[in-house]
Amino acid sequence: MSMKLTIRRPDDWHLHLRDGAMLRAVLPETTRHFARAIIMPNLVPPVVTGADAAAYQGRILAAIPQGIDFTPLMTLYLTENTDPDDVAQAAKAGLITAVKLYPAGATTNSASGVSDFNKVRDVFERMSEIGLPLCVHGEVTDPEIDIFDREKVFIDRVLDPIRKAHPNLKIVMEHITTEDGVDYVKSADKNLAATITTHHLIINRNHILVGGIKPHYYCLPVAKREDHRLALVAAATSGDARFFLGTDSAPHVDQLKETACGCAGCFSATNTMSCLAEVFEAEGALEHLEAFTSLNGPDFYGLPANEERITLTKGAPVAYPTKINSDEGPVSLFDPGFPLHWVVQ
């Protein structure tokens, strides 16, 4: 017997599309199900000005499949030279929806990120004044800090001081991976939310390392212990408005993942809704799937929820492709490690 679940069309509040041939290959995998997505600006070179965002937006719009309604929500890459006036003008024009903070060296293409947070205080103040959210990659990069502790240390050393200095700044902790992150978001009564990825709800660090290294499960922030994964699942499936979906779907061609120094990222745009339905059903929380994917994000960003609906149906296991082909090479799709019975009709 089949089951059906109809929800508002979802949004993805953290997405990597890359550029050029890769953009053209992976964008249809997102637009098939998602109405909007926060687009990450860590290209090479990064999207640092309003003019950069306008140009990148144009390339994305040109790659949207014909007849599909999809809105890319652009962001700027924060640097120590970011001009607060340029940020404000881009926001006023409706060109950008947020600014992205990468600590320098934290993840893929983050070398131009921030090392001295005192140099971006003026940007934070202007963003506070105009209500523009800051999206944060929440990890320190100090070599003496264990990679599994980077998120917790970032909260204590960087994020909490920023929030105390700029209490009116709206902040999204992106792709949280720890119980510490969950608890910190829950401790806030305003202006703080978090995205949770598809893959961090499903894998822990054993999936990466046990039985041989699994490069397609390697991501940043890296997956943590099982108790942290369970904390993420509890937060995502709770209905708490402070938590919402940001897939962090990040395409890398296989030859750059399966190498001596592989790239970080899991590509999950294609099967995310199927994966999430399985996770929420296992928790007895399907009634909260719409909030996590379609309601909480728009509410935090001050945008209307999508009026269009999608229907997921549960039946026989769904056969997804193992790879998405691009002119740059194949990209492996995230494998949850269990059968997927839910599919978007």
For the annotated catalytic residues, the residue numbers are 248
173 vs 137: CA distance, rounded Å = 7
- Say how far residue 40 (Cα) sits from the centre of its chain: 8
Please name the helix (run of DSSP H) or strand (run of DSSP E) that holds residue 121, with its range, or none. Answer: helix 121-130
Can you tell me whether residue 52 is helix, strand or coil?
helix
Instruction: Supply 288's token pair.
Output: 């909260």
84 vs 92: CA distance, rounded Å = 12
303 vs 145: CA distance, rounded Å = 38
Can you tell me whether residue 342 is helix, strand or coil?
strand
User: How many CB atoms are located within 10 Å of the residue 69 CB?
Assistant: 11
135 vs 211: CA distance, rounded Å = 35
